[in-house]
């Protein structure tokens, strides 16, 4: 399974095998206010946590600083 923050509106840089299940996490981008940004950040963690609980992966791999932080927070018990 491959989970991405962006959806089908952005083309992939590399072709993805049809054997791989793609999950778009459907999270709106950050808003201008600090409170809006915190809400989006918390929403991303909750959505990713729900996906991880459902999928029960053996391994989780993330890239880029913000995604790494969100992934770490989503995997905490």
Q: Can you give the pLDDT at residue 52?
A: 94
pTM summary value: 0.80
Which residues is 3 bridged to in the sheet?
Answer: 23
Number of Cβ atoms within 10 Å of the Cβ of 50: 12
Q: What is the pLDDT of residues 20-69, one digit of tens each?
A: 988 888 877 766 788 888 888 899 999 999 999 999 999 999 999 888 99
Region for 64 from its dihedrals, namely left if φ exceeds 0, alpha if ψ lies in -120 to 50, beta otherwise? left
């Amino acid at each position: 399974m491959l989970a991405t923050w962006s959806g089908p509106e952005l083309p992939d840089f590399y072709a993805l095998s049809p054997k791989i299940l793609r999950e778009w996490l459907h999270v709106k981008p950050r808003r201008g206010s600090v409170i809006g940004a915190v809400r989006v950040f918390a929403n991303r963690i909750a959505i990713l946590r729900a996906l991880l609980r459902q999928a029960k992966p053996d391994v989780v791999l993330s890239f880029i600083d913000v995604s790494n932080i969100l992934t770490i927070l989503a995997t905490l018990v």
